[in-house]
A and B are shown apart, each in its own frame.
Chain A
């Protein structure tokens, strides 16, 4: 029989940390603005996961309430961010994140 272990909240937290790290790397390495955005979504999800894990650990519902709000704000943020990206990329379809440097001066 394989040793069984019940997943403890700590496991979930470590998973959230891993997800967060992956998202962080994605933001730093990718140049396509849309993919960068998606990496940010990954990080937000990691945070949601950790909130829910804490909520379970301390039997406190406010962790889940927080996730609710994070979800709403993430949605709003995606809407506005994509609007900006649309506005930029419409003019210059080949733009990537590095081209913001041309705004300086």
Chain B
């Protein structure tokens, strides 16, 4: 099975082509089911490949399948090749697994939409691109997938493009990603210049072998991190993600929760030897940005009123956690959190989609409430997801978050800084519990605020929220189960329970920094964090359910610290001024120099023209003058003067 890993991206690609040709004819729901089947098929192949790898010894779990030689150009040899190793198969597993579930969900969610088949066209294309990204053997194949997911993200965010806000959001996502892509490209150039190859094995072996200089490794790390900031929505390039909620909810779940935004984290984990070789301030920068983003987004999420925007900011915040893990040398923890986050965030998004669907496309939480009785399955699974993300044991989120906090606390270099970052992460975790509780209470508990506005919605007559169809509930249930047991992947109790760590060891052995703390400290941190999270939940309940405390939702938080406005102003004024100055420089200096040369030549010609009088005798005069000069020169030379 290892030899046919090319099937994994090929199946969604086939789905894309089939829907392209026959989608209109297949229609609703067959096109959707075809797409789901393709994604499911990819999942099956991935699963079989996974078992194949399991059966091998740890050292042999790396298999490259080359499809063809892509760019044999001079010193650059890039193949279209796929790499099957623990990290890529892990990524592929949850991409295809959760992808299949979301495809299934979308067949129900998008029912009745006039562009039904087109949606699945894009979804399959996205799946193909994402799989190229994670299975790529070298940076160029990954970059191909990277750009592909960016493009599909654009298509899917602006799926309902007749809505002005959706079209704008799509453009915003694409342009912001592009800024990050520049970083990726520069990193590729640097890697090629330093190592002569773009493949991960070449780069990582060079880093492990000490061939890569510290400054080059740092430069590559920072450039890749810029790319990751764009794709994974970290400060300052996060601003596309909240706006991306304009797309249909399955899109938000798949792309902006589980898969595309994790590409940045995947990339950093993939090149962990390079990060380990860099100057010690490089991982610190990554950690600081991650922690800052996490806190920033969490504060904003506290004041959001749109059900999806809360989850969007929550995603940004959790991604910040993952980058904090990367910066603390805890790559396994980052992947662990990525996987558990994929489970519960997809669950939460799909759940919110179910709510939106049941509320006839109402998204404002202030107009919801008391939906628990009317949508029991949705509510139940959503509550499990809430507990998972809030970090309540024994659900999945607790274990992964706890590991990240431990790694930050125990990081060996820059200890004071990392203790501060630990504090920031802790506060963020508390805020996460707080705002998620707020969301659950506002949506499912309390008084039903929707009955008041039944006149606003031109829905089919009697406005009563209803539960979603089975095809949408099934994925919710599956994800709920995974969120419950997901922690099993990497329980920290004994060596044998740290399954993920052992599984990923061949990839991260060079860069992984295991926290060395006494068991007492570890237990203390874990229990303390869990206790504080539960307290935070209690506070939120007091505010929003029992209304004992006043809600603190300042406008500045709702505006996202006015960051969007700041960027618009910056681009509008100082940015624009810089652009105008550059354009002026180009016009005046560069063009001026070129035109100036032409003008100088013309003027000189105009002056020299006067010697052409047309009179032969003038010419004879000039010849005579020349003769005199020559004679004089020769004479003086003979006399030894010249």
A contacts, CB < 8 Å to B? 24, 27-28, 31, 97-98, 100-104
Give Cα A103–Cα B620 distance, bound, in whole angstroms: 17
Q: How large is the interface on B (under 10, 10 to 19, 20 to 34, 35 or more residues)?
A: under 10
A2 to chain B, nearest CB (A): 33
Whether A28 contacts B617 by the Cβ 8 Å rule is yes
Tell whether, in the assembled complex, residue A101 and residue B614 are in contact, meaning their CB atoms are under 8 Å apart: yes
The 8 Å CB contact of B617, one of A24, A98, A103, A104, is A98
B614–A28 CB distance below 8 A: no
8 closest Cβ contacts across the A-B interface? A101-B614, A104-B614, A101-B615, A100-B616, A97-B616, A98-B615, A28-B620, A28-B621
Question: Is the pair A24, B615 in contact by a Cβ cutoff of 8 Å?
Answer: no
Quick one: given A24-B624, A28-B624, are A97 and B614 in contact (CB under 8 Å)?
A: no
Question: A49–B615 Cα gap in the complex (Å)?
Answer: 31
The answer for the CA separation of A24 and B613 in the assembled complex, in Å, is 20
Q: Is the CB of B617 within 8 A of A97?
A: yes
Do residues A27 and B615 form an inter-chain contact, with CB atoms below 8 A? Answer: no
Residues of the A chain whose Cβ atoms lie less than 8 Å from the Cβ of B613:
101
Q: Which residues of A lie under 8 Å from residue B616 when comparing CB positions?
A: 97-98, 100-101
Q: Least Cβ distance of A50 to chain B in Å?
A: 14
> Please, could you name 16 A-B residue pairs with CB atoms under 8 Å apart, sorted by A?
A24-B624, A27-B620, A28-B617, A28-B620, A31-B617, A97-B615, A98-B615, A98-B617, A100-B614, A100-B616, A101-B613, A101-B614, A101-B615, A101-B616, A103-B614, A104-B614
- Complex: how many Å from CA A91 to CA B614? 21
The minimal Cβ–Cβ distance linking A69 to chain B, given in whole angstroms, is 23
- 19 additional A-B residue pairs with CB within 8 Å, beyond A28-B624, A97-B617: A24-B624, A27-B617, A28-B617, A28-B620, A28-B621, A31-B617, A97-B615, A97-B616, A98-B616, A98-B617, A100-B614, A100-B615, A100-B616, A101-B613, A101-B614, A101-B615, A101-B616, A102-B614, A104-B614
Q: Is the interface of B mostly helix, strand, loop or mixed?
A: helix
Q: How far is the CA of A104 from the CA of B613 in the complex (A)?
A: 9
A100 to B616, CA, bound (A): 7
Return the chain A residue nearest B621 by Cβ.
A28
Instruction: Convert B608-627 into 0s and 1s, putting 1 for each residue whose CB lies closer than 8 angstroms to a CB of A.
Output: 00000111110011001000
Given the complex, which residues of B lie within 8 Å of A24, measured CB to CB?
Answer: 624
Min CB distance A8 to B, Å, is 20
Q: Smallest Cβ distance from A33 to chain B, in angstroms? A: 10
How far apart are A29's CB and chain B's nearest CB, in angstroms? 8
Of all chain A residues, the one with the shortest Cβ separation from B615 is A101
CA A27 – CA B622 in complex, angstroms? 12
CA distance A103 to B616 in the complex (A): 11
Residues of chain B within 8 A of A101, CB atoms compared: 613-616
Nearest to B613 among chain A residues (CB) is A101
A37 to B614: give the CA distance in the assembly, Å.
19
Q: How far is the CB of A95 from chain B (nearest CB, A)?
A: 12
Taken together as a complex, chains A and B put the C-alpha atoms of A103 and B615 apart, in Å, by 10
Q: Which residue of B lies closest to A33 (CB)?
A: B616
CB B626 to nearest CB in A, in angstroms, measures 13
> What is the CB-to-nearest-CB distance from A14 to chain B, in angstroms, rounded to a whole number?
15
Chain B positions 503-558 with a Cβ under 8 Å from a chain A Cβ: none
CA distance A102 to B617 in the complex (A): 14
CB under 8 Å from chain A, chain B span 476-526: none
* Bound Cα distance A79, B563 (Å): 96
Residue of B nearest to A30 (CB): B617
Smallest CB-CB separation from A104: which chain B residue?
Answer: B614
Complex Cα gap A100–B613 (Å): 11
Closest to A31 in B: B617
B 368-408 contacts with A by CB, 8 A: none
